[in-house]
Structure 1
Amino acid sequence: MTTQSTTETGHGRRFVLAPNVAPDWSQTMRVFAGISFVCLAIALTCTWFGFWPVLPFAGIELLALWAGLYVSARRSLDREVIQVDGGAIRIEKGRGRAEHQWELDRAWTEVVLKRLPRRWEHTQLVLRSRDQQVTLGEFLEPEERRSLARELSRCIGPMASWGRDDAAPATHESDAVIAPVIRASHSLGDRTG
């Protein structure tokens, strides 16, 4: 589950991808404090009645819970920003800040959605440009990844204008010019043969 926001400016498009993994840190700590209170109350009660081995196991459980909540909260800070603007594509990835950055040439970039052979229904979204390859949206669900690939294909690459609505009439005009030539050669072939 992710959140994806797309904004269109006068010059390009911006995609911000973020996993929807956990609530904010203060809510997570309140839940952890509540669970810890109940767990330690039970462990201390058992210790009071002589079942002291319960206390170390309760501590191990709480430590494992805290570690899981911490990793989940850190992963919720992951961001991928794709800025398609003019002739360039800028990609930033990081946790809380831009840790990795790429800049690709828009006309030479290809959007590739490939199926991974050893995983059921799992795909990988890649932007390829000359010698660079950037994997995007690893935390996305397969349907979200397909949707992102469609949106990126509309605005990236040498044939990006073919997918836009304002380019559709030009496509139909060129089809109209080519179609009579094909019909003429076809009808010419009927006369001779």
Structure 2
Amino acid sequence: MTAGNDFDLEAAEPTLFSALLTPHRSLNRTGFLLVMACVSVVSFAAAIACLMIGAWPVLGFLGLDVLAIYLAFKINFRSAKAYEEILVTPSELRLRRVSHRGHVMEFAFNPLWVQLDQVIHEEFGVERLFLVSKGRRVALASFLGPDEKASFAKALLAALAAARRGPIYHPIR
């Protein structure tokens, strides 16, 4: 057998669905700098006013407020580094969850047996999504909004249905 006759395993297993889910953050770096500049200017002005009336101990508390806001934003930006990767092929559904600290958890399911469980609120829409298979229940797409979860669930269900139909073979004519 020659190298030209070998099977390409990548081509033999087509990708039916692939998604990378990341948390939404509406404030970018420029916006963060503008917010911190505004908070600092207001705090500095208040500190000068307090200093002029003789309330000098307030200066430290105003500085702590600016530091607390800065730390809250930094923690928020750090948590935005988390993501989930979902890959569906005819023989496997793979979920790879990476935390903001870099911890990786991987789950593999057979797409023929996995079910997508949705917790739907009448007023708000899709609240939670779970992959369920063989007694194992794994949460999915927890940081998406209700409309995004509904759209994602629809696409994932279509991919699972395609996986259940089986691969489509195109014979050589």
Class of the TM-score when normalised by the shorter of the 2 chains: 0.7 to 0.9
- Per the normalisation by structure 2, the TM-score is 0.72
Q: SS at 2:112's partner residue?
A: helix
1:140-186: per-residue Cα shift (whole Å, max 9, x none)?
A: 12121111111111111587439xxx9xxxxxxxxxxxxxxxxxxxx
1:12 counterpart (4, 16, 20): 16
Give the alignment's Cα RMSD to 1 decimal.
3.0
Give the structure 2 partner of residue 107 of structure 1. Answer: 112
- Per the normalisation by structure 1, the TM-score is 0.66
Kindly state the Cα deviation for residue 120 of structure 1 after the two structures are TM-superposed: 5.5
2:24 counterpart letter in structure 1: N
Consecutive unaligned residues in structure 1, runs of 5 or more: 1-8, 167-193
Asked whether the equivalents of residues 16 and 163 of structure 2 are also in contact (C-alpha less than 8 Å), the reply is no
Give the structure 2 partner of residue 80 of structure 1. Answer: 84
Residues 22/98 of structure 1: CA separation in 2 closer, same or farther (3 Å cut): farther
Report whether the alignment pairs 1:134 with 2:138.
Answer: yes
Give the structure 1 partner of residue 47 of structure 2. Answer: 43
Report whether the alignment pairs 1:68 with 2:72.
Answer: yes
Tell me the distance in 1 between the aligned counterparts of 2:26 and 2:81. 10
Asked whether the equivalents of residues 153 and 160 of structure 1 are also in contact (C-alpha less than 8 Å), the reply is no
Kindly state the Cα deviation for residue 38 of structure 1 after the two structures are TM-superposed: 3.7
Tell me the distance in 2 between the aligned counterparts of 1:121 and 1:156. 22
Tell me the distance in 2 between the aligned counterparts of 1:112 and 1:139. 16
Give the structure 2 partner of residue 31 of structure 1. Answer: 35
Structure with higher Rg: it is 1
1:103 counterpart letter in structure 2: A
1:12-70: per-residue Cα shift (whole Å, max 9, x none)?
A: 32111112124444652453244224412431342144122431331232132123212
Give the structure 1 partner of residue 5 of structure 2. Answer: none
Equivalent pairs counted in the alignment come to 154
Asked whether the equivalents of residues 17 and 156 of structure 2 are also in contact (C-alpha less than 8 Å), the reply is no
Q: Which stretch shifts more, 38-47 or 73-82? A: 38-47
Answer 1 or 2: higher relative contact order, Cα 8 Å, separation at least 6. Answer: 2
Asked whether the equivalents of residues 22 and 72 of structure 1 are also in contact (C-alpha less than 8 Å), the reply is no
Tell me the distance in 1 between the aligned counterparts of 2:162 and 2:90. 13
Tell me the distance in 2 between the aligned counterparts of 1:112 and 1:58. 48
1:19 counterpart letter in structure 2: P
1:156 counterpart letter in structure 2: L
1:79 counterpart letter in structure 2: Y
